Every structure is written in C-alpha cells, then in structure tokens.
Amino acid sequence: MKEEVTLKIEGMSSPCCAEEIKGDLLKIEGVKKASTYFADKIIKVEIDTEKATKEQLIAAVKEAGYEAVVTEGKEKIKFERQLKDLAEKYSISFQVLQDHWNFVKEASATVFADCCKWCHAHRITEMADAEAFCKSAIAEGMGEPETADQLFKIKKKVQALTDKEIKEMEAEHYGTLAEKYALKGNPCPIRREFNKTIYTAKELASLPEIARNLALGCGNPVSFADLKPEEVEVDLGCGAGIDVILAADKIREKGKIIGVDIAPQMIEWAKKAVAQANLGNRNIEFSVDDLEKLKLSDSIADTVISNCVIVLCPNKDLVYGNAFRILKPGGRLAISDVVLTEPIDPKINERFKSTWRGILGGAIPEKDYLEIVKNAGFKDIEVVKRHIFTPEEVFMMSQCPGPEFVSATDPEDLKVLEGKAASVKFIAVKPQP
C-alpha cells in the first residue's frame, strides 16, 4: 500500500542539505519517491507501507545529521477561496485546478532549487544572493520586470569579520549549541563517529551524558599530558567539561582543575556534567573568559591543555602568551588542535576567513602554528600524533559546531582541503629560569 509522508526537517538550510537527505531516504527499501521543498523545510516521501515505516524515515534523517517529525493531518490548501472562485467562473473542477496549481508550484520549486544549487556550485554561497538571482530570473521569465527588479537585491561582498565579531559569533554559536543539544546529543553523525576515534570506549562509558553530547574536540590531550596527582591543570576552551572530567581522574582529590570557556552556557553545562560525574568534592573551578585576555594569575598551573579551541581564536599568539604566563617554570603544554599541512590557495583561504567558517576559518599551516608556540617562549616542542582528516571529517570541521550555525561550504573548496587539513597533538615546556 502506498502512502505519502510529509517530514518537517530541522536544520535543512540549503538545497544541498535537502538533496543529501533525499538521497539517504531513497536508499531505504520501500521508498518510491522523495520531493524536497527546502524553503518550507519539508520533504514529501512516497513509501510502500509493507516495506518502509515512518520510523525508518526519521531514523535516516537523524543519521544524516538532522531532526525530522512527521507532520500530522492534511496541509491547509493555499488560496482555497481564489481557486474555488476560479473554478466557479470557468466551470472547471476545483480538484483539477488545485492539482494543477500544486503541479506548477512543485515544478517551480524544482527550478528554484536547481538554480540555487547551481549558484552554490559557482560559489554564490550567500543564500540571500542566490535567492535574489533565482527569484528575479523566474519573475523576469514570467514577464514581471518590476517584480524582478525588486527581487534582485544583491548584498555587497561580505567584509572580513573583526576579532570582536569572531569572538561574539563563536560564543553565540557554541552557547546555543550547548543549550539545544546538551541533553539531545550532537546532531551530526560524522561528529558522533569521530568522537569514538578520539576517546576510548572505556573513557566514553565513564563520562556523563552531557559531556559526551557536547564533545567537540579533535584529540584527547589528557591521554598525553602526563598529568600527576596534586597538580594544577588549566583547560583552555573546556566546553562542557569532557577533558576536565577525564583530567580529574589523573589529578585526584588534592589537585586542582580550572576550566575556561568563552560561552557562558557551556560553563553552566560543564558544572552540571561535573556534578553528574560525582566530582562535587574535587577542586574544580570554571570561569567565562576570553583566552586572548585571560584573567588567571601568573605561574599557577603545572599543565595547560586545550582541545580544538585555539584554532578558533583570531590571535593565537596572545593565547599562547597567556598560556606561557600562567604556567609555572617547568610547566607543560598538551594541545590538540586543527592545522593545515601546507598552505592552500589564498583565495580559498580568504573565503574561509571572511566568515570564519567553522573550525577551518582559523586554521593555519602547522609550521606557522608551531612557530607561534615557539615565539611565546616554549621549548622542547614535540608532535605526539598527527591525523589527516578524511573528506567527511573536513566537511564536519567546515560546519562546526553544526549546519544550523554555519552555512554549507562550496564542495570545490572542500576538495582543495582534502589531505591538507589535520589535527595535530603536541607537547611543549616552559623552561626553567
């Protein structure tokens, strides 16, 4: 038996998103047809109810990194009064008019979606500009030049974000992510699988749900930081506290951990995660702070760790200057971060930086990155491990913390980054005077 199911999709922000979800749905046995309407954030799916279920559709959408709900009941007919008047005036069946109206609407939506995808492929990545281009062309084709003129409003080229704007954007994006997904779990399936490669199954099993749900690292600095009981450890960009909790197992009751993050919501969830982990009796502090203007006192830490956060900072030299300052002489760095294995096309690099796109907006060549660490005063810099990102991981990093916050990147730009983006894990020492 055939049935049409309408799915409302959360996070479907572009035609490319819609086509990705559509492709995954069509892989399900029993799915006969799928039609996307990205402007309305819906996908209509025709299924054979003996072979496919609504639950399977929702699961497939979730696996693709989005959320879906089945809309209940029949959608309200748009322009019902006008269609009835037209049917009466020309003695045409109302149903015939309605069916053809829907046919034309769907055909127009297909043309519009195809046009937007063409724009995206040709690097017209600002959605407002793509829509202005496509809608105006459709209006002009209908013989409505005045309407086309009104629709064709192109924004000037986006200027590079200021340092202040970058920090405010990061705080907003990661804070909103924390509020929305602390209890639901990360919506990106690539991220969920990637986390399993960073942390061991035993470590993940020992962590509270909040810490796992909001884990956004690219490594496991605690695993190579050589933390010792009774030490003081500072986590720069602690997020929801996953590495703080793992460090607590190493430092024990007499040690101290300070977690710092720019997003207040992350700090609040980190406190809850620590409570869930039954670490309320440990000496763990959290503070909201800008890593470039760190308020912590000089020479207080034995170890400074960070996990895929300093890459987000526009002035990495200031961050490492602060890390050097707060470390005791002989103190250690244990850092996991994202770098480029080699310089990339300057034009592509500029596109990433102009909107500070995901993690990759702040990524710089590894050689330059480690030079910053050296110039801050650190010695004995040693790369512990390096992981070249797969194409799927590059895509994930380009949209971090998620597609709701970062628009889709030109696939051609992402191809350029294949084999040239990596996570690097390294240690370094603040020398004794």
Q: What pLDDT is recorded for position 112?
A: 79
Percentage above 90 pLDDT, the chain: 52
Q: Does residue 123 surpass a pLDDT of 80?
A: no
| CATH architecture of structural domain 163-429 | 3-Layer(aba) Sandwich (3.40)
Check residues 418 and 328 and name the one with the higher pLDDT. Answer: 328
Pairing of strands 67-70, 2-10: antiparallel
Report the alpha-carbon distance of residue 217 to residue 363 in Å, rounded: 14
Report the alpha-carbon distance of residue 342 to residue 172 in Å, rounded: 31
CB proximity list for 156: less than 8 A, separation 6 or greater: none
Q: What are residue 109's phi and psi, to 5 degrees?
A: -60, -35
> Phi-psi bin for 67: left (phi > 0), alpha (psi -120 to 50), beta?
beta
pLDDT in tens, 338-382: 999 999 888 888 878 877 767 888 999 999 999 999 999 999 999
Q: How far lies 431's CA from each of 199, 242, 281, 325, 380, in Å?
A: 30, 29, 33, 12, 9
Q: In angstroms, what is the C-alpha Rg of the chain?
A: 26
Q: Does domain 2-70 have CATH number 3.30.470.30?
A: no
User: Which amino acid type is present at position 407?
Assistant: S
Q: What pLDDT is recorded for position 402?
A: 79
Q: How far lies 401's CA from each of 12, 178, 214, 320, 394, in Å?
A: 15, 10, 10, 23, 13
User: Which amino acid type is present at position 419?
Assistant: G
Tokens 């509020």 appear where?
179
Check residues 152 and 291 and name the one with the higher pLDDT. Answer: 291
3-state class (DSSP) for residue 198:
helix
Question: Domain residue spans in the chain?
Answer: 2-70, 80-151, 163-429
With cut-offs at 50, 70 and 90, classify the pLDDT of residue 73: very low
Pair 336, 306: CB distance under 8 Å: yes
Percentage above 70 pLDDT, the chain: 94
CB proximity list for 193: less than 8 A, separation 6 or greater: none
Q: What pLDDT is recorded for position 415?
A: 87
Q: What pLDDT is recorded for position 78?
A: 66
Query: Among 38-42, 105-109, 146-150, which stretch is predicted with the lowest mean pLDDT?
Result: 38-42
Report the alpha-carbon distance of residue 389 to residue 198 in Å, rounded: 13
Mean pLDDT within 185-204: 91
Q: Provide the whole-model pTM.
A: 0.66
Give the mean pLDDT of the chain.
88
